[in-house]
Structure 1
Amino acid sequence: MGFFCLFCGCVDQAGVGIVEKFGRFYKLANPGFHFFNPFAGECLAGVLSTRINSLDVKIETKTKDNVFVQLLCSIQYRVIKQRADDAFYELQNPKEQIQAYVFDVVRAQVPRMTLDDLFEQKGEVAKAVLEELEKVMGEYGFNIEHILMVDIIPDPSVRKAMNEINAAQRLQLASAYKGEADKILQVKRAEAEAESKYLGGVGVARQRQAITDGLRENILNFSGKVEGTSAKEVMDLIMVTQYFDTIKDLGNSSKNTTVFLPHGPGHIRDISDQIRNGMMEASASQVNSE
């Protein structure tokens, strides 16, 4: 903060000197070099820094909902240059005095709040501490610059319970979203399946209609070109031809091993009758539905 001897002294830029005369306060020494007359009883009693100082205070108290918490409060203060004599003579330990007032204000404010309110309104607590300290410490030559509530630390068991509650709420929300997503997926799957079945039915109906139209056209063409043939005979011929084509496809397929089918003129006629009757019934049902 500077140097001084019996006859002279130097005060740094960020400081203020306290000059005494015969043991009593005489004047303030501004930054710079000063001469003192020891024969007149003058001397430099001390130098105070006018820089901003920081004091961290940890306070343990209880909230309105009976939760013990620790508050870490940071107080930034400085000496008022014009009242440096009060700061030098009035308080022996200003840090302890500031800490005592912080304890008093915080323990008067926090028990009125729940834990959630304390987290939300910690600025209000800092404001109350600032107002009280400015009023009290200003009389002793100190100016309170800022009050910061750095941290609020609940009891470890309370923090664990809060984390579990938060995790449970998030899991519940995730389960609700997952259930809604599964519901939408099942509805869409059912709609897709219904649409698929509908389109499949339309395709089968159109296929059968096309087969019926093709057979009708073949029968008419064959009956017109070959004299003496009836529609029944042409139908039997087409059915038998399709029967042999089906046997051929079964034999050429690599996925089939052995297929037992009745074979003979009588069986072929029975099969042709069954196929014809089936086609006629399908055609009749299609006409009735239209």
Structure 2
Amino acid sequence: MMDFLMYPIIFVGLVILFSSFFIVKQQTAVVIERFGRFQSIRNSGLQMKIPIVDRKSGRLSLKIQQLDVIVETKTKDDVFVKLKVSVQYVVIRDKVYEAFYKLEYPHDQITSYVFDVVRAEVPKMKLDDVFVKKDDIAIAVKRELQEAMLDYGYDIIKTLVTDIDPDAQVKAAMNRINASEREKIAAQFEGDAQRILIVEKAKAEAESKRLQGQGIADQRREIARGLEESVEVLNRVGINSQEASALIVVTQHYDTLQAVGEETNSNLILLPNSPQAGSNMLNDMVASFVASNQIGEAMKKQQDKKDDDSK
């Protein structure tokens, strides 16, 4: 009978013994109470408590945590906007008691302060300034939270304004404005590009005309020089200038006909002609030269006569 009663007693003893030990994970703090009153704070590792008398009242994580708060408010230019504020906070290791007993709902407390600061700062700014000065808003939130939460055992690591979401109609209007500005800039660039192309094309055409004129002038100069040399050569063999000119014209006439005949894909139409056409042209040229010389001689004689009368 005694042996039968020993087994339950041993079992209960083992249960009580094992319940006296507990393990606390890394970056965690456990609050121990004795008969409902704070006893101690246990950190990571194997810990021991008095069974039945002591109990684990709660656990607090010592890791950095993040709370996202979405605040809707109005800017100075009467635009409703939603801001997402991310608050990174941590329980101070030396103030676990304050964090556990002074503040029951830390998330609600942090959220209230974020709402208060954001709704105090954003109405002072225009919508464009909210985007530009979002870091200033985050700094103001952190400063206010740091002062308030430090007494409760919480340290604010960083606050970030991670999203700014204006009203849908405002976003559509802003997109239209941005699109118009970009189209305006694009039109200006296109206009500048076309103007540059026109100017450069005009410069190129002017340079082409100049070079073309220079080439024609050089060509005519060389032709004249060649004709002069040809006449001199013919004069040396007893052919006078008139005969030499006729020979050169006829030669060029036949050279031209030969060059035209060599073009297989030419659309040129040859009108009826005869070898006498070159002779007639030469005769007309000679006649005009003679008439010009006669007029020049008459004008010279008349001028000489006037000079003698004046003396």
TM-score interval, smaller chain: 0.7 to 0.9
In the TM superposition, what is the alpha-carbon distance from 1:123 to its structure 2 partner?
Answer: 1.1
Residue 198 (str. 1) matches residue 200 (str. 2): no
Structure 2 residues not aligned, in runs of 5+: 1-16, 291-311
In the TM superposition, what is the alpha-carbon distance from 1:55 to its structure 2 partner?
Answer: 1.0
Residue 90 (str. 1) matches residue 102 (str. 2): yes
- In structure 1, what is the equivalent of residue 34 of structure 2? 21
Q: CA RMSD in A?
A: 2.6
| Selected match of 1:107 from 116, 119, 123 | 119
Residue 126 (str. 1) matches residue 138 (str. 2): yes
In the TM superposition, what is the alpha-carbon distance from 1:107 to its structure 2 partner?
Answer: 1.0
In the TM superposition, what is the alpha-carbon distance from 1:34 to its structure 2 partner?
Answer: 3.6
Verify the 8 A CA contact 1:87 1:140 in the aligned structure 2. yes
Q: Which residue identity lines up with residue 209 of structure 1 in the other structure?
A: R
**For the residues of structure 1 that align with 2:289 and 2:206, how far apart are their CA atoms?**
27
Identity %: 40
Moved more, 177-186 or 123-132: 177-186
**Cα 1:17–1:5 shift into 2, 3 Å:** farther
- In structure 2, what is the equivalent of residue 33 of structure 1? 46
Residue 233 (str. 1) matches residue 246 (str. 2): no
Verify the 8 A CA contact 1:11 1:47 in the aligned structure 2. no
Verify the 8 A CA contact 1:250 1:256 in the aligned structure 2. no
- In structure 1, what is the equivalent of residue 178 of structure 2? 166
Q: Deviations over 1:186-245 (max 9, x none)?
A: 12211221121112112112211221221122222212212xx42112211211221122
Q: After TM superposition, which residue ranges in structure 1, 4 or more long, deviate above 6 angstroms?
A: 275-280
- TM-score, scaled relative to structure 2: 0.79
In the TM superposition, what is the alpha-carbon distance from 1:95 to its structure 2 partner?
Answer: 0.9
- TM-score, scaled relative to structure 1: 0.84
**Cα 1:202–1:31 shift into 2, 3 Å:** closer
Which of 1 and 2 has greater Rg?
Answer: 2
In the TM superposition, what is the alpha-carbon distance from 1:5 to its structure 2 partner?
Answer: 7.7
SS in 2 for 1:65: coil
**Cα 1:154–1:273 shift into 2, 3 Å:** farther
Q: Which residue identity lines up with residue 19 of structure 1 in the other structure?
A: I
Structure 1 residues not aligned, in runs of 5+: 281-290
Moved more, 55-64 or 250-259: 250-259
Verify the 8 A CA contact 2:234 2:240 in the aligned structure 1. no
- In structure 2, what is the equivalent of residue 286 of structure 1? none
- Aligned residue pairs: how many? 273
**For the residues of structure 1 that align with 2:152 and 2:274, how far apart are their CA atoms?**
123
**Cα 1:222–1:145 shift into 2, 3 Å:** same
**Cα 1:77–1:264 shift into 2, 3 Å:** closer
Residue 242 (str. 1) matches residue 248 (str. 2): no
